[in-house]
């Protein structure tokens, strides 16, 4: 292709990206300092608009106004024109809006709905949180097994998960996506604490069955000691709080996770299917999703010009699994 034709081709692509902002953007042509093949992912409804705009403002002000990574918004229903317009006003980066396929959101036809309904009723009677909230369960199903399969995310490798009504307290002056890539890291988190056992009565038994059937997927030097205090016989309930994730989607797209399916939380898969040194605690990113938060300390707090204080955290210290995580590396 000659130089003139190549110039016209690039101009045509650029024009398309500027005039059709619902399309994914080539990361190499993006404005800003970010160079990784990455995106900010936001699962939201039209009714979440206020919380969405607040979260976007935090992420843009503390990080993305400098790096210019694109946003991908996903919803099980079509986004309204009001939602799209308001969101685009919050960023100079490219924004894409996607509809979630029904088979990625709703449970399959082969599920015994009568039995499932009865199970939800029993959990509700036991005061288990979100027990009979079917939309919440659909959301968890999508995030566990399907989000990385959405067509709008196929051009990207790395993602940063964002949710409504979250807060960031510190300036992120480096690129976390570059950090993962350059340091052979796969999964990053900020908060880790104990799960409520009543919400996952069969999860560990299911995992043990899987490990017996497929021992080839369990990584050497994994993080089992973060999950279990007795070599995997029982689950100590520690998990990474997945409403904040900066991670490599190629891991979720890989054979081990796909073989495991959509049942597990990300934490167990990340802890067992990859070496522990591919996990990363973003201790310098101040983050809050009420009532829990992580506030950096010492030099990290100073460098990020953080506005949070450690005493703002609501009883998180007593529930934190961070000491267990850090013990693996000492």
Catalytic residue list: 245
Q: Give the DSSP H or E segment for 260.
A: helix 255-260
Q: At what angle do helices 49-59 and 81-88 cross, to 10 degrees?
A: 20
- Helices then strands (H, E): number in the chain? 15, 12
Query: Is 25 strand, coil or helix?
Result: coil
| Cα Rg, the chain, nearest whole Å | 21
C-beta of residue 249 within 8 angstroms of C-beta of residue 159 = yes
CA distances from 106 to 52, 141, 142, 269, 308 (A): 23, 8, 9, 23, 39
What's the half-sphere exposure (Cβ side, CA atoms, 13 Å) at 165?
9
Measured distance CA(173)–CA(67) in Å, rounded:
9
* Strand-pair partners of 167: 288
C-alpha angle 28-29-35 in degrees, rounded to nearest 5: 40
- Phi–psi pair at 300, nearest 5 degrees: -60, -40
Cβ-proximal residues to 157 (8 Å cutoff; 6+ apart), any chain: 36, 37, 38, 248, 249, 250
Query: Is 125 strand, coil or helix?
Result: helix
For the CA atoms of 49, 51, 56, 62, the dihedral, rounded to the nearest 10 degrees, stands at 170
């Amino acid at each position: 292709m000659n130089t003139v034709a190549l110039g016209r081709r690039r101009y045509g692509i650029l024009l398309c990206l500027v005039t059709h902002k619902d399309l994914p953007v080539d990361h190499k042509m993006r404005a800003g300092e970010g160079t990784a093949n990455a995106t900010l992912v936001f699962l939201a409804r039209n009714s979440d608009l206020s919380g969405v705009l607040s979260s976007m403002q935090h992420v843009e002000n503390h990080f993305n106004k400098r790096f210019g990574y694109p946003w991908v918004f996903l919803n099980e229903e079509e986004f309204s024109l009001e939602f799209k317009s308001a969101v685009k006003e919050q960023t100079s980066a490219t924004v894409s809006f996607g509809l979630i396929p029904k088979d990625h959101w709703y449970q399959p036809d082969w599920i015994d709905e009568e039995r499932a309904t009865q199970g939800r009723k029993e959990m509700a009677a036991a005061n288990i949180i979100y027990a009979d909230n079917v939309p919440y369960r659909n959301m968890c199903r999508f995030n566990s097994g399907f989000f990385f399969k959405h067509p709008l995310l196929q051009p990207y490798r790395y993602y940063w998960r964002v949710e409504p009504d979250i807060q960031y307290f510190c300036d992120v002056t480096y690129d976390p996506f570059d950090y993962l890539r350059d340091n052979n890291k796969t999964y990053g988190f900020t908060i880790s604490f104990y799960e409520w056992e009543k919400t996952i009565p069969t999860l560990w038994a299911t995992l043990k069955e899987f490990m017996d059937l497929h021992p080839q997927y369990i990584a050497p030097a994994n993080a089992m000691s973060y999950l279990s205090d007795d070599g995997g016989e029982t689950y100590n309930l520690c998990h990474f709080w997945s409403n904040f994730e900066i991670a490599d989607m190629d891991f979720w797209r890989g054979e081990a996770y796909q073989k495991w399916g959509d049942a597990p939380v990300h934490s167990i898969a990340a802890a067992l299917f990859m070496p522990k040194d591919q996990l990363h605690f973003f201790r310098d990113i101040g983050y809050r999703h009420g009532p829990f938060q992580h506030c950096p300390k010492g030099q990290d707090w100073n460098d990020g010009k953080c506005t949070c204080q450690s005493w703002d955290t609501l009883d998180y210290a007593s529930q934190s699994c961070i000491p267990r995580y850090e013990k693996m590396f000492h």
